Amino acid sequence: MFYIKNMEKKKLSTLLYILSAGVLLVVAFVYHRETPFMMDDLWYSTNLVTGQPLSGPKDIIESQIWHYLNWGGRSITHTLLQFILMGGEVFADILNICVHVLLAVIMTLFIKKEDKAVSFAEAVVFIIALNPGLFYSIFWQSGSVNYLYSTVWILLFVYIYIREFSDDVKPLMGASVWMVPLGLITGWSNENMGPASFCLAVGVSFYLLIKRKRRIKAWMIEGIVFSFIGSALCILAPGNFVRSEFSESGSVIEAVRNRFISMLTAGCAYLFLSVIILIFLIVISFKYCKVKLDECEISLLVMSVLAFGAMLLSPHFPDRAAFGIMILNTVVSLRLINKITAIYKDFSVYTALLFSFAWVYSLVIIVTRIV
């Protein structure tokens, strides 16, 4: 009888988590509808060569060739952006919510738990609550595609390597075929997460080869090669060097000072919430649960540090550029929450409080923007 009551409580708790996440997604969709195409959206809605509204794939191809040579190397995300802009605001808003949900689903792939519904709800909420640049990484269409969307395929790429740590991992059907485009678009996404993904792929592959004495699979090599190619295409685009002439000027001392300040701001402000929660959970794991970080969590944290450090090469570190780093930190936090609650059932009360605060905070910051 006691077992049945506990099962009912668990189902009710899970239902409340899912309903809460659903409410937040509805409110987020309303905010999406209240946010029109603006700023860069208006520019990318045109053929960048002629200045005329986009009329088809030919205009997008022409635009992206010009963009690559004259403005920047994010060809994958900006091509996708222009296709979405052609679909109109309603289409874009619906797609944005779907991608938000998809990213939360991919985050739960890293969770070793049969019932992932609660982790999914937590991921949905944390994507907003811990977001260092909510408007510019989710609700602004150009930012959404560059950060929210790209993190979906980047995290999927990362997961495919991370899953290899399992001793009983199942073979991936057709991986040697689809890893080529996945690796390419992962590297060719943005300047910090792309190279960091490449480094993770190299690190995991060599770890499995040297420490586990496992054979490196063909698709793992393909992922490494094509993520490197994608990263090189993104970073070495002629347009980046053209654009840098307009974005950075002054003495070397000023440049160093500005980059130091931007990195400090990112670490102490943009990533503050996700890092504080992560540190708290690591301390609880070590001190009270005697659980150390595993290979997956260490790999994700190393990638997070590399993605953060890569921004030292950029003249600016906008808040939205910390989005992917925040997601990596959050995935590790979700894993630790599940590990801790598996040992101390009462800890679920504290995670419920954290979820509630995050949910309320998310609602407040979205609603205040709407009204």
Six-digit token string for 195: 């190279």
Angular region, 115: left φ>0, alpha ψ -120 to 50, beta rest:
beta
CB 272 within 8 A of CB 109: no
Chain centroid, CA 168 distance in Å: 27
Instruction: Provide the whole-model pTM.
Output: 0.94
- Predicted local distance difference test score (pLDDT) of residue 167: 83
* pLDDT tens over the chain, length 371 residues: 444 455 576 788 889 999 999 999 999 999 999 999 999 999 999 999 999 999 999 999 999 999 999 999 999 999 999 999 999 999 999 999 999 999 999 999 999 876 689 999 999 999 999 999 999 999 999 999 999 999 999 999 999 999 999 888 888 899 999 999 999 999 999 989 999 999 999 999 999 999 998 999 999 999 999 999 999 999 999 998 887 766 555 566 776 777 778 778 878 889 999 999 999 999 999 888 888 899 999 999 999 999 998 888 777 788 899 999 999 999 999 999 999 998 888 888 999 999 999 999 999 999 998 76
- Predicted local distance difference test score (pLDDT) of residue 3: 46
Q: How far is CA 110 from CA 157, 206, 208, 295, in A?
A: 12, 21, 18, 12
Six-digit token string for 371: 């009204």
Tokens 């899953």 correspond to 163
- Predicted local distance difference test score (pLDDT) of residue 2: 45
User: Residue 66: exposed, middle, or buried by beta-carbon count in 10 A (0-12, 13-18, 19+)?
Assistant: middle
- Predicted local distance difference test score (pLDDT) of residue 154: 98
How far apart (Å, rounded) are the C-alpha atoms in residues 42 and 364?
Answer: 29
What number of other Cβ atoms are within 10 A of residue 195's Cβ?
22
Six-digit token string for 92: 């874009």
- Predicted local distance difference test score (pLDDT) of residue 247: 59
How far apart (Å, rounded) are the C-alpha atoms in residues 52 and 46?
Answer: 5
What number of other Cβ atoms are within 10 A of residue 128's Cβ?
22
What number of other Cβ atoms are within 10 A of residue 12's Cβ?
10
DSSP 83-98: HHHHH-HHHHHHHHHH
pLDDT tens digit sequence for 90-138: 999 999 999 999 999 999 999 987 668 999 999 999 999 999 999 999 9
- Predicted local distance difference test score (pLDDT) of residue 249: 57
Domain ranges of the chain: 22-370
